[in-house]
Amino acid sequence: MRRFDFLQISYMNPVNLNSADQANLGLARAHHWDAFHQAMRPRLGATAKFTREEPLAVKTTIRLGGSARLYAEPGSEEDMRLLLNAAAAAGIAVLPLGRGSNLIVPDAGVEALVISMAHENWAKFEARPDGAVWVGAGLRLKNLCGLAAKAGLTGFEFLEGIPGNVGGALRMNAGAMGGWMFDVVEAVQLITASGESRTLERAAMHVDYRHCAELHDAIALGALLRPSAHADTEAVGRQIDVYKKKRQESQPREPSAGCIFKNPPGNSAGRLIDQSGLKGERVGDAEVSPIHANFMVNRGAATSADLIELVRRVRARVRVAQGVELEPEVLLYGQQWKDVL
Ligand code: EPU
């Protein structure tokens, strides 16, 4: 396999470099991303997407941020393995991308290979004879609910309003309406950073509020789900409508990343922010939603810098007014919140 020398380039922010040196370093980095791209493209299946500088804002629900130095939509497990092995050999960080609903992409983009499960091969829904359902990581939760309702399966209705896919919902243990993704999971198939595919039983996994330890450094490929019971399609549809109505009344429709902060134990981040008088607070085009205070909406041209500044401001106000330190729930792509707050 061709050798890559990414590791020889420091990705730390260079200090004491004059502008000509910085420009040269930028060119050298671009050259190495290009080299990786050119070496890998012919090795991937014909239907795989693999691009340089892919804009990510349109792939997120809040619609802001820069591009991915490298972006792939693998069409098979083999594509996935090739990409992961090559990235590991080249010292390139890999970031999985779900439906981008819980994600803030930095304005400068991400120095990484972003892997998305958007290829149709990952959107499977297969009802098994024993009543379980196999779903691919790329299947949208909305479609999962619709297909389950059609098959007369109940227990997935709470997922309907979560604007994510199965992979992201597993990674974040997404939840709504009192239910969590892992409530309905029996087993997860994942691929490790070294390209090894494994299936883990639910009981062997460490799952918590908005967190799944096993998917920290691995990518979910699919899951075996267990519906709670069989019901008639109309009854499932009615339950979905109840949840939909509740969500539409209590959550904003403008572009957002869902709830920005985790709920502190026994409390509600939305209520705390609301009680601190922060609804409508704005930095640039990033605004604390007047409808639900734990949502920050993009009023049109918000940048990631605006959003981060608003997060900082809200945390500071809630700390002073309520004595509670809120922790972000959304991911800051390729970075740690503690490094920017
Ligand atoms: N509240 C206010 N003001 C606000 C918002 C909420 O006073 O601006 C009050 C509500 O009146 C209610 C309480 O806070 O008494 C809780 O609000 P809500 O029922 O909207 O639930 P939440 O805890 O804010 C959670 C999840 C949401 C999920 C909803 C519905 C978290 C951080 N949020 O919100 O998940 O959709 O329940 O089940 O766990 C997400 O994770 O991105 C998300 C949106």
pLDDT digits (tens, 9 = 90+) for 17-59: 778 887 887 788 888 899 999 999 999 999 999 999 999 999 9
**Predicted local confidence at residue 2, as pLDDT:** 35
Residue 119 has pLDDT above 80, yes or no: yes
- The proportion of the chain whose per-residue pLDDT surpasses 90, expressed as a percent, equals 76
Distance 175 CA to ligand 1 centre (A): 11
Reported confidence tier of residue 3, pLDDT bands at 50, 70, 90: very low
What confidence tens digit (pLDDT) does each residue in 125-143 have? 999 988 899 999 999 999 9
**Predicted local confidence at residue 31, as pLDDT:** 85
Contacts of residue 67, Cβ cutoff 8 Å, sequence gap at least 6: 53, 54, 55, 56, 109, 110
Ligand 1 atom nearest the C-alpha of 176 is 38
pTM here is 0.90
Tokens for 13, please give them: 């922010």
Residue 12 has pLDDT above 50, yes or no: no
Choose between 12 and 322: higher pLDDT.
322
Distance 289 CA to ligand 1 centre (A): 12
What confidence tens digit (pLDDT) does each residue in 323-340 have? 999 999 999 999 999 999
Distance 280 CA to ligand 1 centre (A): 17
**Predicted local confidence at residue 157, as pLDDT:** 87
**Predicted local confidence at residue 229, as pLDDT:** 64
What confidence tens digit (pLDDT) does each residue in 178-221 have? 889 999 999 999 999 999 999 999 999 999 988 999 999 999 99
Ligand 1 pocket, Cβ-based, cut-off 6 angstroms: 176-177, 250, 258-259, 262-263, 268-271, 274, 292-294, 329
**Predicted local confidence at residue 310, as pLDDT:** 98
**Identified catalytic residue from 145, 259, 281, 287:** 259
Look at the alpha carbons of 258, 261, 266, 271 in this order and tell me if their dihedral is positive or negative.
negative
Reported confidence tier of residue 11, pLDDT bands at 50, 70, 90: very low
What confidence tens digit (pLDDT) does each residue in 215-235 have? 999 999 999 999 876 667 788
Asked if residues 197 and 190 have their Cβ atoms less than 8 Å apart, the reply is yes
Helix or strand run (H / E) with residue 188: strand 185-192
Reported confidence tier of residue 10, pLDDT bands at 50, 70, 90: very low
The number of helices, as runs of H, and strands, as runs of E, in the chain is 8, 21
Atom 12 (ligand 1): residue with closest C-alpha? Answer: 271
Is-catalytic flag, 210? yes
Residue-averaged pLDDT of the chain:
91
**Predicted local confidence at residue 16, as pLDDT:** 67
Atom 24 (ligand 1): residue with closest C-alpha? Answer: 270
Is-catalytic flag, 73? no
Ligand 1 atom nearest the C-alpha of 269 is 24
Distance 268 CA to ligand 1 centre (A): 7
**Predicted local confidence at residue 179, as pLDDT:** 86
Is-catalytic flag, 140? no
Atom 43 (ligand 1): residue with closest C-alpha? Answer: 259
Domains along the chain?
9-120 (3.30.43.10), 123-234 (3.30.465.10), 253-332 (3.90.78.10)
**Identified catalytic residue from 210, 214, 287, 317:** 210
